[in-house]
Structure 1
Amino acid sequence: MSKDNGADTSCCAACGIAEVDDVKLKKCTHCDLVRYCSDACQKNHTSQHEEACIKRAAELRDELLFKQPESTNLGDCPICCLPLPLDLEKSGMYQCCSKVVCYGCSHANQRREFEERRHRKCSFCREPLPTTDEGCDKQRMKRVEANDPIALGMEGVERKMEGDYRSAYKYLLKAAELGNAEAHFKLAGLYHEGHGVEKDRGKAIYHLEEAAIGGHPYARYDLGYDAEEYGISERAVRHWIISANLGDDNSIKSLMAAYRGGFVSKEDLADALRGHQAAVDATKSPQREAAEEYRRSLASVECT
């Protein structure tokens, strides 16, 4: 018996037939409140069930949307197994295998190769790195043709930068369908700007939500900003707390502003600050610090 609307889920909500060996009931395609013995029964029951269905479907969507992801969409470095930093300048993708490796690991690998006078190889799969643009293109397209979601997403970004929005949409959509949260984030941008597709706020928000569910902190921040623009401060704060816990700096700034406006309690802000710091600290290691120090030394040489 569903406690949400009192419906007996052991029987078809339309005709009342009970589930037996030769009658299998299926849940409503949008909610978990009722079950039906056939598509015809579900269609006939639409007018009676629609209001409760829409309400429950929205509740289920929010349960999924506001669940704290275990990690960002970037995940962990496949070599050191530490969370990848949100700063994309501190990691890089190898086109041969589409693996994103932190600069701590790639720097350590490059240093070893230099000391042992070896040819440069991928830090992860050990494939020799191409020395020409043609070689890079060949590796990239090999991964695209293999339907690698990361490679498809990167190809979509490349096409977008070239102004080929229709092709960008095609690649990004395919990558998103394969679970690439960054592709969802980029698709939201296309729908927001109307590049390659008609402007559609609903679809833009949908793709932002899918990206946020996948752990994309910037998509989550944008959802909070959108909610604030529409005067839904409570919803905005919920989004920013989640993205702050993923290490997003802008979400912390927004939460502090919301605190000054009386929309966030002192306790919730303190929890968010601790979560943010923990997320940032989790991305640090001596090896990554050494790589960063090396980059700083190169920058100082270039400036002299």
Structure 2
Amino acid sequence: PASGTSTLRIRAGSAGNNDQSTHFNIDRWVVNAIAAGVVFVSVSYSLFVGGVTFYDPNVNSTSRSPAIIMAAGVLALATILLKTQLSRPLVLVEACANCGKEPGDAVELKVCASCRLVKYCGVDCQRAHRKRHKGPCKKRTAELKEERLFTRGCQERPEEDFCPICTLPIPMPMDNHSGFYLCCMKRVCHGCVVATATRGTRFNVDCPFCRTPAPIMEVFISSSELAMVQKRVDSKDPEALRFLGDKYYFGRHGLEKDVPRAIELWSEAAELGSLEAHNRLAEFYLGDEIGVTADGVARNFSKAVRHWEEAAIRGHVESRHNLGVRECGEGNHERAVKHLLISAKMGDKSSLDVIKDMFVGGVASKDQYADALKGYQEAMEEMKSPERVEAKKRMKDMESWR
């Protein structure tokens, strides 16, 4: 380099012998470990030569000095070389996994989208290298999927599971502890609904979030009011798309049942980020026990699992629970517990109950059940508020009046 800094270049493959990765992540601790090993060997050799020479009665004093000096010299040389090498930064040279071309003005390398292990200079090289790369690519892709499925980030509930007013997570199942308002497509916890309605001298029926007069809740919507929902659908609101898909699927509120239209709306909502739409699609493709869905469509387990996994990765509690139950049903108890532990720690009582049953049945450990119970209790504690306690009390009173 122009600066005069020496570098240790690691060439990542060539056209003739590179089967897989074109770049390697070599951590500094690896180099330090190798350096320590070389120093150890050098010191051992020096001590051995010096010791044997010094204590050997057959070696006269005249012969001892050169041997000791040679051993000390080997140690000093090794130390100098290692110090020099360790001061050099590692520079990775990327190259095409097939032809070995390095990136430049006319060459732009693109990483394999599935495994992200190798790079190619073009589609032709990617196709030519496919046969050799297929096996490792599938293996690494599965590893990446597993990492995404159980990473820390997916153990946190999504933003839509939090009340937009008090910002606390809504207890599960959310339909029993919140109201869904079509005017703003927001889910508001019962604590904030009751607190807003009873504030002031009159009973307030405005939307707790957007203050729309006489808000339209999902349970009260009429066919004439679907026009407002359609406007949000036209603006590509994912929750509005999911909601309208529900109505087409069941044929409610003046809409004729139209399953293809429902699937189309759910698919679009899922692409735009609706986790509940992913769950709807998964349940649709799961079908029933006779091998078809309720609408005569062939069951597709792979599609169902893919939608559940996509939603679970982004924190959807019900999808995570469903994955755990499915794994348990197939006898994959270790993976089932991993899924159910995550959803239980998000506050899902159903997941906790399944882990308890697995513990009683001897396929889950006592520690796993204790971990799930502790996590569930902590999650429930985080969801408590005085307003929600008051709302729960009022709802019980209303039920007693019926």
> When the two structures are superposed, what TM-score results if normalisation uses the length of structure 2?
0.70
What does residue 77 of structure 1 align with?
Answer: 163
Q: 2:265 aligns with which of 171, 181, 197?
A: 171
Letter in 2 for 1:129: A
- Closer, same or farther: CA 210–197 of 1 in aligned 2, 3 Å: farther
2:313 is equivalent to residue 213 of structure 1: yes
Instruction: Kindly indicate whether the alpha-carbon contact (under 8 Å) linking 2:157 and 2:317 is maintained by their aligned counterparts in 1.
Output: no
Q: Deviations over 1:6-56 (max 9, x none)?
A: 722211111111122332211112112111111111111110000000010
Q: Deviations over 1:264-301 (max 9, x none)?
A: 33333222211111111211111011111111111101
Greater Cα shift, 67-76 or 284-293: 67-76
Q: Deviations over 1:108-127 (max 9, x none)?
A: 111126x2366x32111112
Greater Cα shift, 121-130 or 99-108: 121-130
SS at match of 1:30: coil
What does residue 260 of structure 1 align with?
Answer: 360
Letter in 2 for 1:136: E
What does residue 44 of structure 1 align with?
Answer: 128
How far the C-alpha of 1:258 sits from its partner, in A, is: 2.4
| d(CA) in 2 for partners of 1:54, 1:30 | 8
How far the C-alpha of 1:210 sits from its partner, in A, is: 1.1
Q: Indicate the structure (1 or 2) with the bigger Cα radius of gyration.
A: 2
What does residue 14 of structure 1 align with?
Answer: 98
Instruction: Kindly indicate whether the alpha-carbon contact (under 8 Å) linking 1:11 and 1:25 is maintained by their aligned counterparts in 2.
Output: yes
What does residue 39 of structure 2 align with?
Answer: none
Letter in 2 for 1:177: E
Q: 1:192 aligns with which of 261, 273, 286?
A: 286
Instruction: Kindly indicate whether the alpha-carbon contact (under 8 Å) linking 1:72 and 1:246 is maintained by their aligned counterparts in 2.
Output: no
2:258 is equivalent to residue 158 of structure 1: no
Instruction: Kindly indicate whether the alpha-carbon contact (under 8 Å) linking 1:94 and 1:100 is maintained by their aligned counterparts in 2.
Output: yes
What does residue 192 of structure 2 align with?
Answer: 105
| d(CA) in 2 for partners of 1:46, 1:262 | 45
| d(CA) in 1 for partners of 2:260, 2:303 | 16
Q: Deviations over 1:225-263 (max 9, x none)?
A: 221222221111111111111111121122123223443
Q: Deviations over 1:191-228 (max 9, x none)?
A: 11234754211101111111211222221121112212
User: Paired residues, what number?
Assistant: 298
Letter in 2 for 1:52: P
| d(CA) in 2 for partners of 1:196, 1:70 | 36
| d(CA) in 1 for partners of 2:375, 2:382 | 11
Greater Cα shift, 242-251 or 45-54: 242-251
Instruction: Kindly indicate whether the alpha-carbon contact (under 8 Å) linking 1:72 and 1:215 is maintained by their aligned counterparts in 2.
Output: yes
What does residue 125 of structure 1 align with?
Answer: 210
What does residue 277 of structure 1 align with?
Answer: 377
| d(CA) in 1 for partners of 2:189, 2:139 | 43
| d(CA) in 1 for partners of 2:379, 2:229 | 32
Instruction: Kindly indicate whether the alpha-carbon contact (under 8 Å) linking 2:107 and 2:121 is maintained by their aligned counterparts in 1.
Output: yes
SS at match of 2:199: helix
SS at match of 2:161: coil
Instruction: Kindly indicate whether the alpha-carbon contact (under 8 Å) linking 2:178 and 2:190 is maintained by their aligned counterparts in 1.
Output: yes
- Closer, same or farther: CA 217–203 of 1 in aligned 2, 3 Å: same
How far the C-alpha of 1:167 sits from its partner, in A, is: 1.3
Q: 1:95 aligns with which of 182, 196, 201?
A: 182
Q: Deviations over 1:62-120 (max 9, x none)?
A: 1111124221574210001111111212101111110110011111111126x2366x3
Tell me the percent identity: 40
- Closer, same or farther: CA 206–134 of 1 in aligned 2, 3 Å: closer
- Closer, same or farther: CA 140–94 of 1 in aligned 2, 3 Å: same
How far the C-alpha of 1:164 sits from its partner, in A, is: 2.2
What does residue 338 of structure 2 align with?
Answer: 238
Greater Cα shift, 139-148 or 92-101: 139-148
> When the two structures are superposed, what TM-score results if normalisation uses the length of structure 1?
0.91
Instruction: Kindly indicate whether the alpha-carbon contact (under 8 Å) linking 1:91 and 1:103 is maintained by their aligned counterparts in 2.
Output: yes
What does residue 295 of structure 1 align with?
Answer: 395
Instruction: Kindly indicate whether the alpha-carbon contact (under 8 Å) linking 1:209 and 1:219 is maintained by their aligned counterparts in 2.
Output: yes
Question: What are structure 1's unaligned runs of at least 5 residues?
Answer: none
What does residue 237 of structure 2 align with?
Answer: 148
| d(CA) in 1 for partners of 2:301, 2:187 | 31
* Runs (4+) off by over 6 Å: none
Instruction: Kindly indicate whether the alpha-carbon contact (under 8 Å) linking 1:191 and 1:201 is maintained by their aligned counterparts in 2.
Output: yes
When the two chains are superposed, the root-mean-square deviation of aligned CA atoms in Å is 2.1
Greater Cα shift, 65-74 or 187-196: 65-74
